[in-house]
Each structure stands twice: as C-alpha cells, then as structure tokens.
Structure 1
Amino acid sequence: MTSGDHHYHGDVVHMNQTTDSVGIDKRQTFVTGTPAGAAELERAVEQLLPLLRELREQLPPLSARTVEAAEAEIGGSVDPEVRRSALERAGAIAEAVGTVGAPALALIQQILSLLGG
C-alpha cells in the first residue's frame, strides 16, 4: 500500500473506537492441504532424502551433522514450519557447496514452493 511518500509492506490495521479487540487472525493455507498436493510433497521428500544422504558423505563433520538432523525433521515431520526450517538449513549447506549440492538444492526449492513459500 502506498500513501503519499510512505510505503507500507505487510499488514496495516486501523482500529477506531473498539472495545474487546483481540487482534488479527492470520491463517495460511498451503497447497499440501489437498490430497494431490500432499502426495506430491511426500514424493518430493522421498526423492530428496537419498540426495541428502549422498551429500552428507561429501561434507565436513559439522555440516554433515546439520544435514543429518535436517533429514530427520524433513522426513519425519508433518508440521510445515518444522519441515520448512529443516529444508532451509539443508538448502543453505547444499547451496554453499555448489555443484555437489545442486541436485538437492533444486529439490529443496521445489518442496519449499509446495509448502507455500
């Protein structure tokens, strides 16, 4: 939203003469809420896990442990935010190692888009 020379990003809320106001209800809907979206997400996760295992073998110990922990959260969690956080951690490492991490990074980006972001 733009007002004069002021640019606003995100929510802008104006409340006048209210009583008992609670706040904003911000609900998000993810593509994975549909059976087709959930199935596509699970297929992508199944394809990603072996790529992360291969990547882990080529990493220094600290990075390998980070990817291993992320694998458990990516494969085991149905909570979109837990999965997103794990994907972002693994993706950062995959991106940092360049060509070696490119296949995993591409799939991570696909999964993140399925999660709505």
Structure 2
Amino acid sequence: MDDYPLLNLFWTMMWFFIWVMWLFLLVRIVMDIFSSDDLSGWGKAGWTILVIVLPYLGVLIYLIARGGSMNQRQASRAQQQEQALQDYIRKTAGGSSEPSVAEQLEKFADLKQRGAISDDEYEKAKAKVLA
C-alpha cells in the first residue's frame, strides 16, 4: 500500500463516481430518445448513433439541445401512467353489476310516474331498497 498514496485513492474514487454518473446519464438519454414522441424514426436513429459513436460529445450535445424538456417528457409519461392506473382502479372497483340504491329508486320513481306500478307498490319497493 506504500506505492499508492491516499490522494491517488481519492482521485481514483472520484473518477470512478464521475464515470458511473456519466453512464447513468447515458442510459437515461438513450431511454429518453426511444420514448420521445416528438422525434421521428430518423431523429431517434441519428441521436442514438451520435451518442454511441461520440459518447461524451453526443451526451453533451443532447443535453444542450433537448435536456431542458427531458424532465417534462418524463413527468408527462408518469402522469399518463398514473391516469391510466386511476382509470383502471375506478373501472374495476366500481364495476359491480348491481345498480346502486339511487339508480333503483330512480327506476321505481319512473315506473310510478308512468303508471306501471301503484303508489303502494312503489312504497314497498322503496322500503325494500332502503332496508
């Protein structure tokens, strides 16, 4: 351990963490390229080739050109996924085949108004639904 001073260890660790951060950024940019709705197929291919062939320069150029809207696109996708999840939950939770009390009362009131059932039958049906 004498031939590798402590300062060199810190420099090595710093460069390693910078490399990990760059790698994370590269993966995030490639994911953003492929999930972007406003890029055509040729645009996606061009950005991907630039990021792969000239990785450091390509990432820097992408961040300058499209980095400001990366977070907006990700937030929009998250909001769409959340909305789809909420719609699914509402659909499955409220999807019972039995009508609600209000719907049943409305149906009986309509039948009474049309004369299909008498007042006595309406009151019995209403009492049964409310019980």
* TM tier relative to shorter chain: 0.3 to 0.5
Q: TM-score, normalised by structure 1?
A: 0.35
> Who wins on radius of gyration, i.e. which is larger?
2
Of Structure 1 and Structure 2, which has the larger fraction of its residues in helix?
A: 2
The higher relative CO (CA closer than 8 Å, separation ≥ 6) is in 1
Q: TM-score, normalised by structure 2?
A: 0.33
